[in-house]
Amino acid sequence: MSFKSIMPKLLWFTGLAFACLLGTSIFSVSAPSSSPGRLNLSPPATPVPPEYFGLHIHRAFSTTPWPPVPFGSWRLWDAKVHWPQVEIEKNRYDWRILDREVDLAEKHHVDLLMTFGFTPDWASAGHPAATIGRLMPGKRARGEIVGDIADMEDWRNYIRTQALRYKGRILYYEIWNEPNLPENRIIGTPERMLALAKEAYTTLKEVDPNIKVIAPSPVNANGADWLDRYLEIGGGQYADIIGYHFYVRTRPEAMLKLILPVKEVMRKHGQGDKPLWNTESGWIRNPLTDQIDPVQQAPGWAARAYVLNWAAGVQRFYWYAWDDDGGDSIPFTEEDESTVTISAHAYAEIQKWLIKSRIDSCERDDAGTWVCKLTRESSPSAWILWNEDHNLKFDAPKAWQIQSCTKLSGDRSACSGGALDIGEIPIMVEGPPIHR
């Protein structure tokens, strides 16, 4: 994300707060929603793979210990391996940090996603590269325009050189990060991104046909319009995977208001059969999300986001971020960047519930109660239950034959169904186990 990406979001929040002062209640963390309405999702028929659970780790190469929670994929953004930090001058490279990160990924058996998103000053056409934030070298004015690439051969050469160096070790490349944000308004137009994607896709496939290319990943509600235009002019030809950043300002269920329209845009342009990845998402600290209760809400929001993204058809979800210097409203580590939080424990526990399981259905009723049915290796029938914003009693059908209840803390106990206490933190209930 970095500070460059947070600023437009903060401006959005400022306008939102002003609207609230005028009496228009647009958002409240604590207030119950009024009849959110029924919704039925159509989950994939395949089991959830470990790679679905992705992370961003900023300083794994130096000060951040390797996360003690499991995860299957790692996106190298804000990890000090952007183009300006690797090709520090034309044809002069510094691979030390990226070498270290690739070695770590292989040691811990996680796959890597390499993302492009900055232009070096030496390669820029008329605008210095915007290198805002603690993870980029130097400081410049906030919101400065990211420079376009003056010579396409520099772009091709950088991509070719990196792909050859890490052939067989980095298999996923993302063309650009959040091209629809204001600082990308020159290089980030759909037309310019298409030109860059065509060159990158062709170059990467020439180096290794096994490489998978992710389309530029827009963010925010207007990102769907950007993607619509990008696919309309042919962007789908140069992508194996469609990327998006499903950040929301409210509860995780709001992600569906982005995911479902994006999937419709993909279908509209004949890209509906391609995987959709949430290559960056979480909750960035701001005056509104500061209200998220770190114990009663945050763990549940993290878990619900992962359940809902998969149930809505998203096949990867890279959480931002593991070590984010206190910039997250749902942090996974304390300020020491190593002590795990209750939300990180929830991230680990929801993996236990989902990995190798199949979500058969996921439905919301008029009261905002969600029932997501699972088929698990250990049980032919299990259900994840929660309510979006309040506690209530849930009458589990007798036909479920519930025998156990598991909390997001990992505590498992015998239970027999009936009136179950549910709220914002999901629980999992299971029927009779499979006898092998």
Going by pLDDT thresholds of 50, 70 and 90, the confidence category of residue 417 is: confident
**pLDDT for the residue 342:** 97
**pLDDT for the residue 28:** 34
Q: Using CA atoms, how far apart are residues 231 and 292, in angstroms rounded to an integer?
A: 36
Q: Using CA atoms, how far apart are residues 142 and 361, in angstroms rounded to an integer?
A: 45
Closest CA to 290 of 20, 13, 1, 78: 13
Mean pLDDT over residues 322-340, rounded?
Answer: 92
Q: Are 233 and 194 in contact (CB under 8 A)?
A: yes
**pLDDT for the residue 35:** 66
Domains of the chain: 2-32+49-355 (3.20.20.80), 362-430 (2.60.40)
Q: Is the pLDDT of residue 294 over 90?
A: yes
Q: Is the pLDDT of residue 434 over 50?
A: yes
- Please report the DSSP string for 81-92 in residue order: -SHHHHEEETTE
Mean pLDDT over residues 146-168, rounded?
Answer: 98
- Of 330-334, 335-339, 359-363, the poorest mean pLDDT is in 335-339
Going by pLDDT thresholds of 50, 70 and 90, the confidence category of residue 325 is: confident
Closest CA to 214 of 190, 186, 238: 238
Mean pLDDT over residues 259-287, rounded?
Answer: 97
Q: Which residue has the higher pLDDT, 12 or 126?
A: 126
Tokens of 272: 């509906």
Q: Using CA atoms, how far apart are residues 178 and 176, in angstroms rounded to an integer?
A: 7
Which distant-in-sequence residues (6+ apart) come within 8 Å of 86 by Cβ? 93, 94, 95, 98, 158, 162
Q: Using CA atoms, how far apart are residues 243 and 271, in angstroms rounded to an integer?
A: 12
Q: Which residue has the higher pLDDT, 379 or 215?
A: 215
Question: At residue 212, what are phi and psi to the nearest 5 degrees?
Answer: -110, 135
Question: At residue 122, what are phi and psi to the nearest 5 degrees?
Answer: -70, -20
Going by pLDDT thresholds of 50, 70 and 90, the confidence category of residue 135 is: very low
> pLDDT over 90 for what percent of the chain?
81
* E strands in 312-433: 314-319, 358-364, 369-375, 382-387, 392-396, 404-407, 412-414, 418-422, 427-430
Task: Say which DSSP state 333 is in.
Answer: B
Mean pLDDT over residues 151-156, rounded?
Answer: 98
| Amino acid residing at 381 | S
| C-alpha count within 13 angstroms, C-beta hemisphere, residue 251 | 22
Residue 387 β-bridge partners: 369
**pLDDT for the residue 10:** 39
Q: Using CA atoms, how far apart are residues 226 and 164, in angstroms rounded to an integer?
A: 31
CA triplet 171, 136, 140: central angle to 5 degrees?
140
Q: Using CA atoms, how far apart are residues 354 and 18, in angstroms rounded to an integer?
A: 40
Q: Is the pLDDT of residue 27 over 70?
A: no
Kindly give the pairing relationship between strand 53-55 and strand 314-319. Answer: parallel
Q: Are 205 and 246 in contact (CB under 8 A)?
A: no
Q: Is the pLDDT of residue 141 over 60?
A: no
Going by pLDDT thresholds of 50, 70 and 90, the confidence category of residue 143 is: low
**pLDDT for the residue 225:** 98
Q: Using CA atoms, how far apart are residues 407 and 426, in angstroms rounded to an integer?
A: 7
CA distances (Å), 315 to each of 32, 179, 201, 230, in order?
Answer: 30, 21, 21, 21
Which distant-in-sequence residues (6+ apart) come within 8 Å of 209 by Cβ? none
Q: Are 316 and 115 in contact (CB under 8 A)?
A: no
**pLDDT for the residue 99:** 98
Residue 412, Cα to own-chain centre: how many angstroms?
A: 29
- Of 222-231, 299-308, 327-336, the poorest mean pLDDT is in 327-336
Residue ranges of alpha helices (H) inside 255-295 are: 256-268
**pLDDT for the residue 418:** 82
CA triplet 107, 109, 112: central angle to 5 degrees?
100
Q: Are 178 and 219 in contact (CB under 8 A)?
A: yes
**pLDDT for the residue 13:** 35
**pLDDT for the residue 12:** 35
| C-alpha count within 13 angstroms, C-beta hemisphere, residue 319 | 32
pLDDT in tens, 32-54: 445 689 999 999 999 999 999 99
Residue 215: which region, alpha, beta or left (left: phi > 0; alpha: psi -120 to 50)?
A: beta
pLDDT in tens, 188-211: 999 999 999 999 999 999 999 999
pLDDT in tens, 98-124: 999 999 999 999 999 999 999 999 999
Q: Is the pLDDT of residue 274 over 70?
A: yes
Mean pLDDT over residues 352-358, rounded?
Answer: 98
When the pLDDT of each residue in the chain is averaged and rounded to a whole number, the result is: 90
